[in-house]
Amino acid sequence: MEWLLGKREYKKLQLFRFLYQSSGSFMTLAEIEAHFGWSKYMTETLVTELIADEKENHIPRHIQLVYDADTRIIHWLPGYSVSLVRMERKYTLEAHAFQLLIATLKDRPFSLNEIAKKSGVNLNHLNEDKHELNKRLGASGVRLNSANRLEGDETVLRIMYERLIFGATDTVDDLGHYFDEETMQCVQRIIGYYEFSQNKKLPVRRKYIMAITVAVWVARMGVACFIPRDNDFDVLVDTPDFNSQMAAVYDKVKQMAEGFTNITPGHLNREIRYGMTALISNGVLQASLVANADRHYFRFYNGIIDIIKQQYLRQFRTLMPADTEDDIKTNLDRAMIAVYFLYKIDYRGHDDQMPRHSLLPEYELFTEQVFDGIREHFGVESHEIRSRLFAMFYNVFLHAISRDVMIPKMTIMLEFDNPGLQQEIESLLRRRYELNIDYIDDPTIADAVLADHLMPLAPNKRLFIWQMPPSFAELDVFMHEAVKLTMTRFKNQRE
């Protein structure tokens, strides 16, 4: 949600991410200045403010930043990404852009004075933030007009509201801060009937995500903000061919939509289809979205699956197994919808949503190749899609494609005089998910030899001598060489 932040908060979040996702635990102010191109004064001010923000947000003291003004060195405890999420939430909720957009949910004119008084913000600053927000929203076709009402494609607006609410809440109960009681009662009735019709309770997290989509849908219909007539392409679900389970849910959604007396017959069918899309895309039926999608989305969905299968064939020179394809189809449902819609909104967010140093490199490269295929096939620049959905696709491939398939084999010979140490080393390497190891006894063909003593080696083979369990630095050197070797094989096996 960085696109909502003011310039100063955005810089602080950049700094926070840079420090806590690095592999170190201290850094000089000069290094930060050089990395971001900030002045000495700006850097020191941002560090001081960030420390104060951590305290205000109750980040545990032992993982807070510590700044020594004499040495100009910052210390921290790396790896605590939960703190990053908490700080991003704090800055988002306090952002003037967030408050302005939430105020438009009910689609009524309002004065900036209302927001200024409520938040204690200078009116001129709020005006500047409004102009900055419109600049950021420019590519999406959405803008805040002179009456402070949002103009733009209703489907895009709804997706944007969903992302806003999702970024500001954690549970269904939290939604009550943004929607009135009548809307929430309606949401509970629809989800309850959905669970009844499927004879299965939704997991808590899935129910929460579904509730956001349904709440936005109900709230926008309640203020007569309907999907326009020319927007059928964006409403995915087609109604005539539902199976019996989905037909029962359809009748309930239709009954609810017809309860809005201000809805016209022309809008009714599109709104019902939108509501069904919300239920199906967030529901529990495997591949139910595809089974009930209209031809536009079905073509798009099949296009992406074909791209993934083509990349698999090019990389591994064999057809994708049916069970792998089924796993990918089942788990990519929500990612497909996000790809389908995402290019409409200019998020302008941080480009590196995942700390790349933690990824398995073969899976990372395969995911990159899939996004390249999406760009080439659909003729759509996939920068935003790539940066926002990389984690979703990466995790699906990590689950669906076996490491034995994805990561090339590396042969290692263990030659230790101490059998206990050899067993410890073997156990240590077994836990390294970056590697796919076969142990052999021939030093002339092994990719690497690990030993506790000197021994003759065949040419170009690497010998690592560990007379006790390796230190972090020793293991890091070995892993660097091993991953470099397997990545070279991974790239070379591609046609």
The pLDDT value recorded for residue 439 is 93
Fold classification of 2-80 (topology level):
Arc Repressor Mutant, subunit A (1.10.10)
Q: Which of 125, 60, 58, 67 lies closest to 97 in space, CA to CA?
A: 125
> Of residues 6 and 290, which shows the higher confidence score?
6
| pLDDT tens figures, 411-426 | 999 999 999 999 999 9
The pLDDT value recorded for residue 49 is 94
C-beta neighbour count of 316 within 10 angstroms? 17
Percent of the chain at pLDDT > 90 equals: 30
| pLDDT tens figures, 440-467 | 998 888 999 999 888 776 555 688 889 9
> Of residues 318 and 138, which shows the higher confidence score?
318
Question: What class, spelled out in words, does domain 407-493 have in CATH?
Answer: alpha beta
Q: Which of 306, 311, 302 lies closest to 363 in space, CA to CA?
A: 311
Reduced to 3 states, what is the DSSP secondary structure of residue 414?
Answer: strand
The pLDDT value recorded for residue 405 is 93
Who contacts 224 (Cβ-Cβ below 8 Å, separation ≥6)? 107, 262, 263
Instruction: For residue 332, count CB atoms less than 10 angstroms from its CB and return exposed for 0-12, middle for 13-18, buried for 19 or more.
Output: buried
Who contacts 246 (Cβ-Cβ below 8 Å, separation ≥6)? 276, 280, 288, 292
Instruction: For residue 225, count CB atoms less than 10 angstroms from its CB and return exposed for 0-12, middle for 13-18, buried for 19 or more.
Output: middle
DSSP H/E element including 439: strand 437-439
The pLDDT value recorded for residue 261 is 72
Q: How does the average pLDDT of the chain come out, rounded?
A: 82
Q: pTM of this prediction? A: 0.69
Who contacts 444 (Cβ-Cβ below 8 Å, separation ≥6)? 458, 461
The pLDDT value recorded for residue 260 is 80
> Of residues 345 and 22, which shows the higher confidence score?
22
Where is average pLDDT lowest: 98-102, 386-390, 490-494?
386-390
Where is average pLDDT lowest: 170-179, 307-316, 425-434?
425-434
Asked if pLDDT for residue 341 goes beyond 60, the answer is: no
- Top-confidence range, 231-240, 379-388, 407-416: 407-416
C-beta neighbour count of 36 within 10 angstroms? 15
The answer to whether 436 touches 410, Cβ cutoff 8 Å, is: yes
If you average pLDDT over residues 35-42, what whole number do you get?
A: 93
> Of residues 332 and 337, which shows the higher confidence score?
332
C-beta neighbour count of 495 within 10 angstroms? 7
β 73-75/66-68 pair status: antiparallel
The pLDDT value recorded for residue 459 is 58
Asked if pLDDT for residue 287 goes beyond 50, the answer is: no
> Of residues 239 and 404, which shows the higher confidence score?
404
**Tell me, what DSSP letter sits at residue 321?**
P
Question: How far is it, in rounded angstroms, from Cα 370 to Cα 374?
Answer: 6
The pLDDT value recorded for residue 392 is 81
Sorted by where each begins, the domain ranges of the chain are 2-80, 93-292, 295-404, 407-493
Where is average pLDDT lowest: 11-20, 117-126, 256-265, 452-461?
452-461
DSSP H helix total and E strand total for the chain: 21, 9
Kindly provide the residue ranges of all beta strands, DSSP E only, lying in 296-416, ordered along the sequence: 410-415
The pLDDT value recorded for residue 349 is 44
What is the torsion angle, in degrees rounded to the nearest 10, for the CA atoms of residue 440, residue 445, residue 447 and residue 450?
Answer: 50
Tokens 């560090």 identify what position?
47
pLDDT band at 286 (very low <50, low <70, confident <90, very high): very low
The pLDDT value recorded for residue 387 is 67
The pLDDT value recorded for residue 354 is 43
| pLDDT tens figures, 87-144 | 888 898 888 889 899 989 888 878 888 888 877 788 888 888 888 888 888 767 788 9
If you average pLDDT over residues 79-88, what whole number do you get?
A: 76
Q: Token pair of 23, please? A: 């592999």
Tokens 């197994």 identify what position?
321
Where is average pLDDT lowest: 14-23, 151-160, 235-244, 439-448?
235-244
Question: How far is it, in rounded angstroms, from Cα 372 to Cα 99?
Answer: 37
